[in-house]
C-alpha cells in the first residue's frame, strides 16, 4: 500500500480551523493527483515560531 506523506511548515499563528482546512485540501489534492484513497494520505504540519523563520537574513516579524 502506497501512503503519500505530505510535510508542511508554516509560521505559527494560524487557527486550528485554518490548519484543518489545509490538511483537508492537501489530502484531497494528493488523493486525486496520485489516484489513492484519502485514508492513505498523511499530512504533517509543523508550526515554526516567527523568530525561527528567516526572511532576507533576518527573523520574520509579526
Active site residues: 4
DSSP reduced 3-state for 48: strand
User: Three-class SS of residue 6?
Assistant: strand
Contact 10, 20 (CB under 8 A): no
Amino acid at each position: 500500500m502506497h501512503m503519500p506523506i505530505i510535510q508542511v511548515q508554516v509560521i505559527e499563528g494560524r487557527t486550528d480551523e485554518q490548519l484543518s482546512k489545509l490538511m483537508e485540501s492537501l489530502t484531497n489534492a494528493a488523493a486525486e493527483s496520485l489516484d489513492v484513497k484519502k485514508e492513505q494520505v498523511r499530512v504533517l504540519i509543523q508550526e515554526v515560531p516567527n523568530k525561527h523563520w528567516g526572511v532576507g537574513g533576518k527573523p520574520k516579524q509579526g
